[in-house]
Amino acid sequence: MNVVILGSTGSIGTQALDVARRHPDELRIVGLAAHSSSEMLVQQAQEFRVKRLALGNEGLRDSATLAQLPHDARVDFGLEAIEELCEIEGADMVLNALSGAVGLRASYRTLISKKKLALANKESLVVGGDLLMPLADSDSLLPVDSEHSAIFQCLLGEDSKTVNRLWLTASGGPFRGRTREQLAYVTREQTLAHPTWKMGPKITVDSATLMNKGLEVIEAYHLFGLDYDRISVVVHPQSCIHSMVEYCDGSVKAHLGVTDMRIPIQLAFSYPQRWQAPIEPLDFTQLGTLSFEPADEQTFRALALAKEAGRQGGTMPAVLNAANEIAVQSFLNRICGFLDIERIVERVMLCHNPESVCSLEQLEQVDGWARATANDFLRAL
């Protein structure tokens, strides 16, 4: 299978290339895109002999690093160049591991050009699920998010009408059990120390606020077509169960495994097959206690806000997501505090009357408005 990887120098992208390294007979990498990490992109292109490359950052056009590329490799610049990789001839699948709503157009162009989409960019569905899902069928959209890959697997062979409830598990992040008074003073460094998963900075902050779980609820709503009152979140600090599906006869199917993103990435590539992987197996005799508790939505209000945005629907999740991206970046830049993230998101949501989703252009316009409004609130803090 010929694969394009968008976001190849990030956490998911590098792990996807690990999978490709293990399965050279199954996977050929035909396109790679990154934002700014030109040096790593060049190394990847050399190792996997990739001829089509894209860098989002146009300022790197004259970078000396690029001179080391093989002469038959072509590199283009800008967001448009990244999106064009979704349509290259001969590619069968695109792994979208871009970060943020900027990944929506790439997901859209992949599905429109009838290629398979392995989706690690959950923001695509949060913002544009209403546009993307009508373009997808059960074989063309493969979730890479660990919870959604787990649910996807629990649903295999089942009649979707017999599903009562989806249970999304959450690790609870580094601040589980903290009070709001304590959260007001947590630092960037404490926030980036996630207890169970190793990920990029944006999603790690989202995991600490529980916004990530909120975005995943919206993602699950689009992927699996269940109402919000049938999608539940449960905190499970050991992250051993990756999610569960409850059926009408009282049966519950759970997906378990070690916390290694190469498992869901590989399944998206191999489905409907499974391939060998040198993953350390779970040793149930050494596992000890698995514990569960409700998510504390009073303390971690981002989760409640995301569910509210999902229920309101239309353009509201796009607003939630854009305001969150701005607020998280500001937190990472030490411009605002941890609790300001949810405050900014809530204020921007209160200024928006959601409309039904009709086009990419409409979503991008709403996204731009929400970013500008979030920046206004940040300046006023």
Residue 35 sits at the vertex; the CA angle it makes with 33 and 37, to the nearest 5 degrees, is 95
C-beta of 123 vs 147, nearer to Mg ion: 147
CB of 199 to Mg ion, least distance (A): 9
DSSP 224-284: H---GGGEEEEE-TT--EEEEEEETTS-EEEEE--S-THHHHHHHHHTTS-----PPPP-G
Tell which residue, 321, 93, 300, 294, has the closest CA to residue 222. 321
Q: Candidates 40-48, 77-85, 144-152, 317-325 — which segment interacts with Mg ion by CB under 5 A? A: 144-152
Q: Candidates 100-108, 140-148, 154-162, 237-245 — which segment interacts with Mg ion by CB under 5 A? A: 140-148
Q: Candidates 123-131, 137-145, 158-166, 283-291 — which segment interacts with Mg ion by CB under 5 A? A: 137-145
Tell which residue, 134, 80, 128, 76, has the closest CA to residue 107. 128
C-beta of 126 vs 336, nearer to Mg ion: 126
Q: Candidates 73-81, 138-146, 256-264, 353-361 — which segment interacts with Mg ion by CB under 5 A? A: 138-146
Please report how many Cα atoms fall inside a 13 Å half-sphere around the Cα of residue 368, on the Cβ side. Answer: 6
Q: Candidates 142-150, 167-175, 252-260, 284-292 — which segment interacts with Mg ion by CB under 5 A? A: 142-150
Secondary structure letter of residue 176 according to DSSP: T
CB of 112 to Mg ion, least distance (A): 26
User: Where in 147-186 is the site for Mg ion (CB under 5 A)?
Assistant: 147
CB of 216 to Mg ion, least distance (A): 6
| 105 and 86 Cβ atoms separated by less than 8 Å | no
Applying CB under 5 A, which of residues 83, 123, 130, 145 lies at the interface with Mg ion? 145
C-beta of 145 vs 367, nearer to Mg ion: 145
CB of 145 to Mg ion, least distance (A): 4
Tell which residue, 327, 339, 333, has the closest CA to residue 371. 327
C-beta of 91 vs 211, nearer to Mg ion: 211
Q: Candidates 57-65, 145-153, 184-192, 278-286 — which segment interacts with Mg ion by CB under 5 A? A: 145-153
Q: Candidates 21-29, 75-83, 139-147, 257-265 — which segment interacts with Mg ion by CB under 5 A? A: 139-147
CB of 374 to Mg ion, least distance (A): 24
Give the count of residues interacting with Mg ion (CB under 5 A).
Answer: 3
In the bound complex, which residue of the shown chain has the CB atom lying closest to Mg ion? 145
User: What is the contact mask toward Mg ion in residues 255 to 294, using x (rule: CB under 5 A)?
Assistant: ----------------------------------------
3-state secondary structure of 337: coil
- What is the longest distance spanned by two Cα atoms in the chain? 63
Locate all alpha helices (DSSP H) within the chain, ordered by sequence.
Answer: 11-22, 38-48, 79-84, 104-112, 122-132, 146-155, 180-183, 188-191, 201-209, 211-224, 262-270, 301-312, 316-332, 338-350, 360-379
User: What is the contact mask toward Mg ion in residues 94 to 133, using x (rule: CB under 5 A)?
Assistant: ----------------------------------------
The residues, ordered by sequence, that sit 6+ positions from 157 with a Cβ below 8 Å of its Cβ are none
Both tokens of 92, joined, read: 């069968």
Amino acid at 220: A
CB of 148 to Mg ion, least distance (A): 7
C-beta of 110 vs 204, nearer to Mg ion: 204
3-state secondary structure of 166: strand
User: Where in 36-75 is the site for Mg ion (CB under 5 A)?
Assistant: none
C-beta of 130 vs 147, nearer to Mg ion: 147
| Alpha-carbon Rg for the chain in angstroms | 20
C-beta of 29 vs 208, nearer to Mg ion: 208
CB of 114 to Mg ion, least distance (A): 27
Report which secondary-structure segment, H or E, holds 162. none
C-beta of 130 vs 145, nearer to Mg ion: 145
Residue 252 sits at the vertex; the CA angle it makes with 138 and 164, to the nearest 5 degrees, is 65
Applying CB under 5 A, the residues found at the interface with Mg ion are 145-147
